[in-house]
Every structure is written in structure tokens, then in C-alpha cells.
Structure 1
Amino acid sequence: MGRLFWKILLTFWLTLLVAGGVTGIAVWVHHNNLQAMEKEVIVRPSSILAVKAAANTFLYGGTAALRNMLQEQKDEAPEELQIYAVDANGKELLERAVSDDTLQRVRASLGQNLKLPIVRQVQAGTENYLLFAPLAGQYPQFQQERRLSPPRHISASTLIISGIAASFLSSFFLAWYFSQPINILRKAFRVAAEGDLSQRVTPIIGSRRDEIADLGNDFDNMATKLQTLMASQRRLLHDISHELRSPLARLQTSIGLAHQQPEKVASSLARIEHEAERLDTLVGEVLTLSRLESGVPQPLDEYIDILELADAVIDDARFEANALSRQVVFQCDVENSPIIQGHGELLYRALENVVRNAIHHTPEGTAVTLAIHQNSANARLQITVDDQGTGVPEEELASIFEPFQRSSNANPSRSGYGLGLAIARRAVESHGGTIRAMNRADRGLRVEIIL
């Protein structure tokens, strides 16, 4: 058992013991007060009703009505329950004898919170009476029996031991209930710290529904996310090494040809320069993706005019598209140029990568369409990029935004590493936006960016 278990156990146990002790003392005091009262007055439902009836008679009929009621009780049933009415001078209304000790104890009971109206103090105008049903000289059978049934004889030590045992058992199970899932979480964290991210605690904790169960669920989500990131990191390293191997091999081949065939040095140097540029591009994209995936927040302190950003992307894209016999069309239904706060270079890279990807996948003689729409209802900006290519298989639409993932419909002769859309997704998400791909109904692929 851990320290938390003992803290919870002792806290709840001591709390129960104190609460039980206070309750026991209160019950004992109340019981003693009733025991003291039953020596002087009748403590039964019949006496409570009779005292209440006498009080109402006095309040609504006055002293005369009360005297008639008490006299009638005395004359018609002298051996039955009798109600006494004593004024402030200690004189009983029917001049029946009441001892000073009895009267003193009955008056003292008015200040005790017995929760039983067996004694009533009533007042109407200048007259007030103390109403009660005494034992002495009345209701003789009560002198032979106790009105409060005596409890079964149980020793005080037995009661105390039973209370301590019951409070300990309840505190023990309560402490176990709270500390057991904490221990499970502690073991799971230790296993995760050792590198095993496959541990899950929700099936072990069970079906409980509380904050501890929510904590276990959060741990499972964290472990799943870390496991995914670790797998993604390993896959990324594997893909990077694979992508680097090909240009490095071509570099080595070009260098070997330059040594073996001096007359082809110029062509070998051109090949070496081309492969070096490809390596530089690959390293730059990998660094950009690594920076976006590192979790370090990018500064979003620039105010960006989206139409100016789109114009800059289109100017660069048209230069490349014209060389490939393709066109870029721009559509916009936004009246006022929207301004957003963010990182201009990241948004430029995101939109440029999507447009350049579309240019390389649309056939010659066709156009890529960049459109900007604004939803005034929810202040959302929608940017769509459409091409007229073959599209992407439905099962691959989500994976094309992963690093080094290329569609199976992609032209194998086209150079690329599958990092452009991955960078675009990270850049858009860092601005609180979303990006997704969908096949168009007629032909081609649409990439939709929501900001």
C-alpha cells in the first residue's frame, strides 16, 4: 500500500471516529434528558396530543374553557391521563398539588431541545400556563412501567469496538477505491518512461466514471499520440534515408564517370550540380517539416492580406505553368481583401505547395483554378485549388498529407519527395485552419483550405 492509501485511510477513519463520537455524545445527552423527564411527566403520543389539545383550548377559549376541559377530564376519568396547568405563581388551575421539585424540573425542560412537545408554555394576554401530564398521583400504571423501552443491554466497550471496526473497514475500502487506480497509473507511467508506449490503463481501471477514469483515458490518449509520433519519426527517418540514398548514389556515379571518362566531365558536373540542388531542396523541406512538427509554436504576429498572398503565389505559379503548357486561373468573390494574423512565409509555402502540386498533376493544355470565397456568417475563408488530373483513389485521400506519401496515380517521372502537402497541412493547422482533399465530380482533385 502506498502513502496515498494510508493518508486517505487515516483521514477518513479519523473523520468517521470523530463524527461517530460527536453523534454518540449527542444521542446520549438527549437520551439522558428524556430519562430525566420521564421521572416527572408522561412521555407518550397520548400525552403529546393531550397537551396540544389543552394548549389550543386555552388559546382559542381562554382560561375558563381550559378549566372546564381539565375539570371534565378529572371528573369523568380520574384514573386516566390528566393534564396540569400551572400559572406563573406555581398555582395549578384546579388547585391540584404539584411539588416544587417537579415544577422546577418541568420548567427547566423548556430550555432543552428534546424535539417532543410534552411540555408547553402558552400565553394569552396577561395569563400564561405551563401545561404537562405529570406522573405523581396520575395514571398509576405508569409508575410500574417505563415509557421509554429500555435498550437491550450492550456494553459500552462492545459498542466502541464495533464502531471503530466498522469505521476502519469503510475507510479501508474507500481508500483502496481511490488509491488503486492511482497505483495503476503510476505503474503505467513507469512503463512508458522505460520506452514501452503500448501500455493502456482504461481496460484495467474498469467501468468507473469519475475524474480518475478521465485521467486514465487522457493517459491512454497521450500514449497513443506518443506512439503514433514515435512511429512517424521512425518512418520519417527511414523515408529520409531512402530519399537521400538515390541522389547520393547518382552523385557517386557521376563522380566515378568523371574519373573514368575525362571527356564527359562537363556532363558529369551538370549531373552533380542537379543532384546537389535536389539534395538541397530535400534538406530544406525536411527542415521545414521538422520545424512545423516539433511542437514549437510559430510566431503568428504578421497581418497578411490574403489577396496579395494569392497574387504572389499565382505570379510564381504561372511562370512554372507556362513552361509546362498549363494555365493558372484565379477566381475571387471577396469584395474587401481579408486580413488575417499569422505567419506570412508559412502560409505562402502552404498555398504554393498546393498550387505547384496541382500544376504537375493537371494534363498539358488544361488549367489549375485557385478560388477564394468568404463565408460572412462564420467569418471563414475558403481557398480551393482544382486540377483536371486523374484524381486520387478514395482510400489515399487522407494519406497524401503524410510525409513522403505520394498517390499511386502520380507520374513516376515527376521529381518530388511527397513533402509539399505535408508541409501545407502543418502550416495551415498552425494557423488554426483545416485542409482536406476530395475528388471532383467531373474530373481531377480539389484541395480545400479553411482559415
Structure 2
Amino acid sequence: MQSLFFKIFLWFCVIVVLVGVSIETSSILANYYETRWQGVLHTIMPMEAEKCARMYETSGKQAVQNYLDDLQRQKSVRFYFFDEDGNPLLDRSAPEVVQKMALNKEGLNRIAQQNLSAVNPRQGIAMRLVPGPSGRKYNLAFQQSPTLIMPVSEAVGTHPYYRLLGIGLFGALLCFLLTRNITKPIVRLRSAASEIAAGRLKTRVAPSVRRRYDEIGALGRDFDLMAEQIEALVAAQRDLLGDVSHELRSPLARLIVALGLLRQASPEEAPEYLSRIGQEADRLDKLIGQLLTLTRIESGVESTQREKFDLTNLVQEVAADGDFEARAHAREVRVVSADACTMSGAPEILRSAIENVVRNAIRHTPAETAVELTLKQTDDPKKPGALLRVRDHGSGVPERLLSDIFVPFHRVEGGAAGNSQGAGLGLAIAERIVRMHNGSIRARNAPDGGLIVEMELPTSWA
């Protein structure tokens, strides 16, 4: 029963069935005692009383006692035998209530004249006065073993409102259990949500909620997943704010120092300090621009601007622009191979991602070497895609740090992802852009040296 809908449905079905069974059972209990008494009073009592009277006069006391002992074992009742004055005729003592009824000679005679038996239903007692062959009268009494069913059934049959009250209480108990089963975990979810809203991001729902196999359990597990994501995002934003503050502080400090030196410099030294001020201002402008780009991507603003474009042509354009920049440093960028493919997305944003990866490779490939680009279609026709591989011939990255190069402001000093001139945002921006296009990006070291960055992107066949 893993669905809350079916759980509620089945619970109500069970309640209806049980209430119906309770009504029927109460009716059976109400009729049970009366039916049993009527059977005893109208069939067994007259016959057995007359038989015991004849047996007493013809065979004696012991014969009657043996007979009633056998009958007592068969009927699970206690039998007593009196004369018409209420004196016991057997070697057994009668309970006080039975003895009291037997001594009521006038009442027994009056009832006997109506051919009826004296009864006390609450105590389970019946008594029959019959004449023997000699004309002498005898009194046969029996008492059922005390049970809970007799008084309950009598009360239910005599007072129908008790029956309704019992059924109502039983139905209310089942409804309470159902309501508690549904509302208790919801209250715990609400409490956890309030804790999250109050800033306690480590709050999780109770294990008893997560272990449920219905919609509430699924909601609890999703809530914990959401809480973990919120906690991770807040922590990442906090770290990013600290990194941004650190990155802005350095160029600003150099800018302030340059301004102070400029005020004290001679006219011949002024151009040097002005150049330094311009350089630091350019770095600040570039850093702020990258931060704005990262913010737009993470906010999802850029993801709505989608169109179909030629991915092969885009890669070739980026390679051509990168080659133009690389030649100034005795390097080159070339496309080794490029399969024809198209895709849907934001071409200008994706261009920025590929450029960031290519420029990072240009900075770290040695002079007189080339950055190599390869674009290939995947072999799965059910899920078409493209694999773009960018390789440099630098020193690579330590294996343990390969996944960290896509973290904002992370640098690997002396490695392919390290850059004393960059802010450490290029590959982080590339990773988010690729992920925005439902793709993936990863880095690995080439066997013969250098770093390989691979981007997988979903495409459509050209």
C-alpha cells in the first residue's frame, strides 16, 4: 500500500465494513440471548422438569442427581432440584439468588398456572414448577455460567441507543487512527519547514516520515533533498561572497597604492603609474563582467534564449579567433576533426564557454605547440550528442584536483588550470553554461602530457 490515495480509500472501506459488521453483530447479540432463552424455556425446561419429577418418585434422589450431572456437562449449566416449598432435594447447595427464587412459592405457582417458567435473565436463572405422578410438585432450576455476552447482549437488545453509541465510538476510533496516521507526519513536515524558514538549514524530517512508502514518505524524502540543496547553495553563496571580496581586494589595493604614488610622483614617473592604474581598472572590469555572467547563468536568465544553430560552425569560429590570439605568443589553435552537427541552445553563451576553455588551454600550452580541438558525434542514435575535446600540451593538473578546476576562484598553481592573471572564473562559467544546455564537462590528463577538457552536449543530427 504505497499510495496515500489507496490507503485512505482502503481505510474508509475497512471502516464501512467494520461498522456494518458491528451493526450486524450487535443485532445478533441482541437476539442471541432471547433466542437461546426461548429455546430453553419452551423446549428443554418443561420436558426436563417433568422427567426429573417422574424419576425422583420412581428411581430416587441419586438417579435424578446422576441424570442432572450428565445433563449439566452437556449444556454447560448448573441444575438444582427443589420441592414446592423450596427445599433442596439433591446433595448440592444452590446460590442464594436461586434459593431465594425457589422459596417464592406463591410467585412460582402463579407462573406455573400460566404454563410459564420463572426467569431472571440478568443472572441467567430459569425455574419450572411441575407436578409429579403422585401430584406432589417439584421445582427444577438451572443457572448458566456467568459470561460477559449475556449482560452485554441484554443491554444492547433492551437499549438500542447503546448499540448506536457503541458503533459510533468504534467508528470514531477508526477515523481517529486514520486521521492521526495522515496528519502526524504532515505536522512533522510543517515543523521541519518552519525550522528551515528560521535559518536552521541542517533540519531534516523525522526518520519515521522518510520510512513511509506513500506520498507523504516521498514528500519527506524530497523535502530532505531540498533542504540539502538549500544548505549547499547557501554555503556556496557564502563561500563565493568571501572569494569575491578577496579577489576584489587585491586589484583595489594595488589601485589605491598606484594612486598614492601618482600624487607624489614627478611628471616623468606619472605615465608609469597611470598605466598601472589602467591595468588594474581593466582587471576589475573583467572580474566584474565575469561575475555578472556567472550570476546571470546561475539565475537562469540566459537559459530562455534558445535557438537552433550549427555547432560545427561555432567551434570553427572559436578556433579561428583563438588561433589569432595564440599566434602572438608563438602558439596555435587548430581543429583536428569536426563532424557536422546542430543543436538547440543559446549560441552566444555557448561560444563564451568554449572560448573560456580554449583560452585557458592557450595560456598553458608551451610555445611552439598547438591547442587541438576535436568535435565528434556520439554513436547512440536514440540520444544524439556531440563530444567536444580541447587539448593542450602543458603540465596538466594533479589527479586529485581535476574536479576542483570548475569551482569558482579555484586555481592550481603551476598547472593547466592555474593562472596568475586570471580570476579562476573561466572554467566555472564554462561548466555552468554546459550544464545549462543539459550537457556535462570533465577534465583529465593526457597520457603523454597536457590537459584534456571534454564537453558533452545534446545535439540533433545534421
TM over 0.5: yes
**1:308 shift after superposition:** 1.7
> Are 2:412 and 1:407 equivalent residues in the alignment?
yes
Letter in 2 for 1:424: A
Q: Could you report, residue by residue, the CA deviation over 1:204-245 in whole angstroms, capped at 9, with x for unpaired residues?
A: 535322221111111111111111111111111111111111
Indicate if the aligned counterparts of 1:371 and 1:384 stay in contact, CA closer than 8 A. yes
Work out whether residues 358 and 368 of structure 1, in 8 Å CA contact, stay in contact via their aligned partners in 2: yes
Q: Give the counterpart of 1:287 among 287, 292, 308.
A: 292
CA contact 1:13–1:168 (8 Å) conserved in 2: no
Deviation string for 1:40-66 (max 9, x for gaps)? xxxxxxxxxxxxxxxxxxxxxxxxxxx
Q: Aligned partners of 2:12 and 2:322: how far apart in 1?
A: 76
Mapping for residues 40-439 of structure 1, pairs under 5 Å: 153=150, 154=153, 155-156=155-156, 160-203=164-207, 205=209, 207-262=211-266, 263-296=268-301, 298-334=303-339, 337-377=340-380, 378-410=383-415, 414-439=420-445
Q: Identical aligned pairs, as a percentage?
A: 41
The code of the aligned residue for 1:449 comes to M
Per-residue CA deviation, residues 62-108 of structure 1 (Å, 9 max, x unaligned), is xxxxxxxxxxxxxxxxxxxxxxxxxxxxxxxxxxxxxxxxxxxxxxx
State the partner residue of 1:442. Answer: 448
> Where do 5+ consecutive residues of structure 1 fail to align?
1-9, 40-150
Paired letter, 1:435: I
In structure 2, the gaps of 5 or more residues are: 1-7, 39-147, 458-462
SS in 1 for 2:304: coil
Distance in structure 1 (CA, Å) of the matches to 2:320 and 2:423: 24
Secondary structure of the corresponding residue to residue 209 of structure 1: coil
SS at structure 1 position matched to 2:203 = coil
CA contact (8 A) 1:367 1:388 kept: yes
C-alpha contact 2:302 2:346 (8 A) present in aligned 1:
no
Aligned CA-pair RMSD:
3.2
Counterparts of 2:310 and 2:216, CA distance in 1: 47
Shift, 1:362, TM fit: 1.6
User: Residue 302 of structure 1: CA displacement?
Assistant: 2.3
SS at match of 1:283: helix
Contact 2:188 2:206 in 1 (8 A): no
Distance 1:429 1:170, change over 3 A: same
User: In 2 relative to 1, CA 392–203 (structure 1 residues): closer, same or farther, beyond 3 Å?
Assistant: farther
Q: Is the 8 A contact 2:205 2:220 kept in 1?
A: yes
Q: In 2, Cα distance between the equivalents of 1:282 and 1:351?
A: 18
Q: Which amino acid aligns with 1:223?
A: A
Q: Secondary structure at the match of 2:361?
A: helix
Pick closer, same or farther for the CA change 1:192–1:273 going to 2, 3 Å.
same
**TM-score of the two chains, using structure 2 as the length reference:** 0.64
Structure 2 distance, partners of 1:349, 1:174, is: 57
Deviation at residue 410 of structure 1 after TM alignment:
3.3
Deviation at 1:414, TM superposition (A): 3.1
**Structure 1 stretch 204-213 or stretch 437-446: which is displaced more?**
204-213
Quote how far apart the aligned CAs of 1:418 are: 0.7
Whether the 8 Å contact between 1:202 and 1:217 is mirrored in structure 2 is no
Distance 2:163 2:399 in 1: 74
Q: How far, CA to CA, are the matches of 1:218 and 1:169 in structure 2?
A: 32
When residues 226 and 413 of structure 1 are mapped into structure 2, their CA distance, relative to the original with a 3 A threshold, is closer
2:171 and 2:9 map into 1 onto residues whose CA distance is: 11
Deviation for aligned residue 1:32: 11
TM-score normalised by L of structure 1: 0.66
Distance change >3 Å, CA 382–CA 267, structure 1 → 2: same
Q: Which one has the largest radius of gyration?
A: 2
Q: How far apart are the structure 2 equivalents of 1:348 and 1:12?
A: 57
Q: CA deviation at 1:182?
A: 0.6
- What's the offset of the Cα at 1:449? 0.6
* SS class of match (1:397): helix
Q: Give aligned pairs, total.
A: 327
Over 3 Å counting, the alpha-carbon distance change for 1:152 and 1:365 in structure 2 is same
Residues in 1 aligned to 2:177 and 2:209: alpha-carbon distance in whole angstroms = 16
Change (3 A) 1:413 1:339: closer
- 1:257–1:264 Cα contact (<8 Å) kept: no
Q: Is the CA contact 1:330–1:369 (under 8 Å) kept in the aligned structure 2? A: yes
Q: Given the superposition, is the C-alpha separation of residues 359 and 313 from structure 1 closer, same or farther in structure 2, using an over 3 Å criterion?
A: same
In structure 2, the CA distance between the partners of 1:438 and 1:413, relative to structure 1 (3 Å rule), is closer
Secondary structure of the residue aligned to 2:273 is helix
